[in-house]
Amino acid sequence: MGRVHPTSTAISGQSTEAGDAGPPRVFTVVRLDGGTGDRRWVYHARGTAGGGFARQLQLVPGGRVIAAGSTAGTITCEDGFIVALDGTTGDVLWSQT
């Protein structure tokens, strides 16, 4: 089923949520239209071992969305993960583990 962590951020009538979807848990960020609730875009990330979850979310100048959490790695069990997304399209601008 997944869950949404208390990291939602709303700006200019848009809502962006972070959490995980699953099972299995998958690092997930969703942007919703604030007026209709329609999904504008969704981003998923998995580690090398398959799972992950988003814990923190921040909207930054220029409309970018920064999400942080962890993904499941095969060597270290969980790897820290951060991603910058285009707020309009959901396209990945950069990511780091």
| Domains with residue ranges and CATH for the chain | 3-96 (2.40.10.480)
Could you tell me the pTM of the whole model?
0.72
Extract the tokens encoding 15: 């809502």
Encode the chain (97 residues) as per-residue pLDDT tens digits. Answer: 445 444 545 445 555 656 555 556 677 888 888 888 899 999 887 666 667 777 888 888 888 999 988 877 666 677 778 899 999 999 999 998 7
Could you tell me the CA-to-CA distances from 97 to 3, 32, 40, 67, 82 in Å, in that order?
Answer: 22, 26, 26, 12, 7
